[in-house]
Amino acid sequence: MPATPLAVTLGDPSGIGPEIIAEAWRRRRDGDRPFVVFGDPTVLRAAGAPVVTLDRLEAAVGVFPEAIPVLGTPLAGPVRPGHPDPVYADAVTRWITQAAEACLSGDAAALVTAPISKAVLKAAGFRHPGHTEFLGELTAGAPFVGQRGPVMMLAAADLRVTLATIHLPISGVAAALTFEGLLQTFRVTAQALARDFGCAHPRLAVAGLNPHAGESGEIGREEIDLIRPAVEALRAEGMDVTGPLPADSLFAAEMRERFDAIVCMYHDQALIPVKMLDFWGGVNITLGLPIVRTSPDHGTAFDIAGRGLARPDSFMAALKAAAAIADRRAA
């Protein structure tokens, strides 16, 4: 087995994170990269997994075939699946911080995060919109060659999409789009396609913000005043980028064959086609960081937590993607 494990964070302990981690371990195959969990070993045991608590990460690879190696201590109180509690917020963010530090030090090959609840963390004073922005801050001081993110990518089957804005209400999207922000998203996306996905000459498509990509200014001017100038600026640098194009026809199979990734303007514009294409197998990948980070493309699912209904497909796809990108960066 590879010598360097993946770092996995437990996520919200009352969500489905413990279940999908346990099931992913049960479905492991020879040759899969081992992982170590940063979290509460008691919660994983309650999910039916054999667990070994470690005090150093280096022992994880030897433990993995027989049990899930865990770095962490039990939480102060009992966890009830499906009943989130802000009291655990400090532990959840500490696990993410520790796992990110393990990746930065080279002790872990990549980070795979189980789902967190943004509402629960916010109630406890967490000031970041989600994992993506938090990891951007945690890794801000680490050296990185190239255009830095973070930029969110979602990947499923033959579709990759990235987002120019992430966790914003629709009413705030247009105001949040900027020329420099779009340039950064395009550059980080193209850089990651080459570095992490082996696309020697990345081909980008760009979705318009408005219906029909603004209909020549009749349904909004963002395409004319903002998006097209950014596209033209990057074409002048030699980037293969096309758009802005109407989003309602951009995700068909014929279009997916023409491009390596599609840059979208807001959250649901990107996530709806991904989940329609492969609801169970989508992966969230954070681009432009000095560490590799992936996660399943779903949330905590408190409504089914602890009921044996959670499927590990997306989490397993996230493990596979993290290992593949880590291997490509190490090559």
Give the CATH number of the domain where residue 236 resides.
3.40.718.10
> Do 280 and 313 belong together in one domain?
no
Q: Please report which residue ranges of 153-245 form alpha helices under DSSP H.
A: 170-176, 179-197, 222, 228-236
pLDDT over 90 (residue 72): no
The two counts, helices (H) then strands (E), for the chain are: 13, 12
pLDDT over 90 (residue 76): no
Q: What letters, b where the CB count within 10 A reaches 16 and e where it falls short, cover 14-49?
A: bbbbbbbbbbbbeebeeebbbbbbbbbbbbbbbbeb
> Do 34 and 128 belong together in one domain?
yes
> Do 121 and 154 belong together in one domain?
no
CA atoms of 60 and 1, how far apart (whole Å):
11
pLDDT over 80 (residue 73): no
Q: Is residue 211 very low, low, confident or very high in pLDDT (cuts 50, 70, 90)?
A: very high
pLDDT over 90 (residue 144): yes
> Do 108 and 127 belong together in one domain?
yes
Integer-rounded Cα radius of gyration of the chain: 20
Q: Residue 2: its pLDDT value, please?
A: 60
CA atoms of 231 and 229, how far apart (whole Å):
5
- The mean pLDDT of 48-63, rounded to a whole number, is 93
> Do 175 and 274 belong together in one domain?
yes
3-class secondary-structure state, position 34: coil
Q: Residue 112: its pLDDT value, please?
A: 98
**Residue 178 belongs to what domain range?**
145-288
> Do 249 and 276 belong together in one domain?
yes
pLDDT over 60 (residue 1): no
CA atoms of 60 and 4, how far apart (whole Å):
9
> Do 1 and 123 belong together in one domain?
yes
> Do 35 and 134 belong together in one domain?
yes
pLDDT over 70 (residue 271): yes
Helix (H) or strand (E) holding 61: helix 60-63
pLDDT over 90 (residue 129): no
> Do 153 and 283 belong together in one domain?
yes
Q: pLDDT tens, 237-266?
A: 999 999 999 999 999 999 999 999 999 999
> Do 1 and 129 belong together in one domain?
yes
